[in-house]
Amino acid sequence: MPELPEVETVMRGLRTAIEGHKIVHVTLNRHDLRWPFPANLREEMLNQRVVSFSRRAKYILMRLENKWSVLFHLGMSGRMLIGSVGQNEPPPKHEHVIIESEEGVRIGFVDPRRFGAIDLIRTADEASHPLLTKLGLEPLSSKLDGPVLQEMFATKRHTPIKTALLDQRYIAGLGNIYVCEALFKTRIHPERTASSLTEEEAHLLARNIQDILTTAIASGGSSLRDYVQSDGTRGGYQDLHLVYGREGEACRQCSSTEIQRLIQSGRSTFYCPSCQK
Ligand SMILES: [Zn+2]
């Protein structure tokens, strides 16, 4: 599933490829993904220049000259194939939406499992879109720091820190992998209550969340070519995981303990019982 760093990478790829371009062809091969496409989707995109791109949590926003924004969510299996007009013939399987620019760039939205989403919203109203309005702090925002984390979780006396960090209403789009990695790096046990963070821990946790995401985005950047070719495979941050997906393997910090897995709110948590207290 594309996590925040992959979504950021895709957004940057789109920005590089098509920002400033004029959209001259829009092909919709279906009328829905997770939800039906807006009836005016094609019409509002056609003959518009792409003004800018932005990311909010795991949503990509493509802003158009006519003050409409196209919202993309990659769902479980979505990918953006960035190429040239005339490339990808015949089109790849599961390519549901194709956008072509006058300048010759072709963007294909491929999503085999169809949990992705595309919607339209007035640019001025982006923040009040139903999918965006309840989202909490952007994890890479400069606003995320120790005092903010401590304040955020001050009343969470019964919620494990792991669960609280995954709650989109507090921090948006962090994702299971990065929560596990950040708790490990900060040496915090995932079952501790969210309100138990000390000032020092909150400070380190905020810093580690941002470091881990920044590193992941940097390595995602090197796999950008995967989004250019239809047969690309993903590389990237997974080689750098210290705990995630490593159940039963030796801890990379203390070497003497095996990484454990537990289930919290239906999600796997990976941690080292020796290093994380
Ligand atoms: Zn350890």
Annotated binding residue 122: no
Domains of the chain with bracketed CATH: 4-128 (3.20.190.10), 146-271 (1.10.8.50)
Q: Is residue 50 within 8 Å of residue 20, measured between CB atoms?
A: yes
Rounded alpha-carbon distances, angstroms, from residue 11 to 146, 164, 213: 28, 27, 15
* Ranges of residues in the chain whose predicted pLDDT is under 50: 222-235
For position 24, what pLDDT does the model report? 98
State the Cα–Cα distance between residues 201 and 219, nearest whole angstrom. 26
CA of 249 to the centre of ligand 1 (A): 10
Residue 234, token pair as written in the block: 């993903």
Q: How far apart are CA 258 and CA 249, in angstroms?
A: 5
Which one from 67, 169, 225, 267 is the annotated catalytic residue?
A: 267
* Residues in the 5 Å CB sphere of ion ligand 1: 251, 253-254, 257, 272, 274-275
Q: What is the DSSP string of the chain?
A: ---HHHHHHHHHHHHHHHTTPBEEEEEESSSBSSSBPPTTHHHHHTT-BEEEEEEETTEEEEEETTSEEEEEE-TTT-EEEEEETT-SSSPPTTEEEEEEETTSEEEEEE-TT---EEEEEEGGGGGGSTTTTT--B-TTSTT--HHHHHHHTTT-SSSBHHHHHH-TTTBSS--HHHHHHHHHHTT--TTSBGGG--HHHHHHHHHHHHHHHHHHHHHHHHTGGGGTSTT----SGGGG-SSTT-TTSBPTTTSSSB-EEEEETTEEEEE-TTT--
What is residue 230's predicted lDDT score, i.e. its pLDDT? 32
Residue-level pLDDT at 228: 40
246 tagged catalytic: no
Examine the residue annotation and report whether 58 is marked as an active-site residue of this protein: yes
* 82 closest CA partner among 63, 104, 113: 104
Instruction: Measure 189 CA to ligand 1 centroid, in angstroms.
Output: 11
The partner residues of 28 in beta bridges, in order of sequence, read 97
What pLDDT was estimated at residue 225?
A: 44
State yes or no: is 3 an active-site residue: yes
Active site residue 2: yes
- Give the pLDDT confidence of 135-154 residue by residue, as tens digits: 999 999 999 999 999 999 99
Q: Distance between CA 262 and CA 183 in Å, rounded? A: 14
To the question of whether residue 113 is assigned a binding role by annotation, the answer is yes
Q: Which of 2, 139, 160, 190 is catalytic?
A: 2
Per-residue H/E/C for 183-227: HHHCCCCCCCEHHHCCHHHHHHHHHHHHHHHHHHHHHHHHCHHHH
Catalytic residue among 55, 56, 58, 63: 58
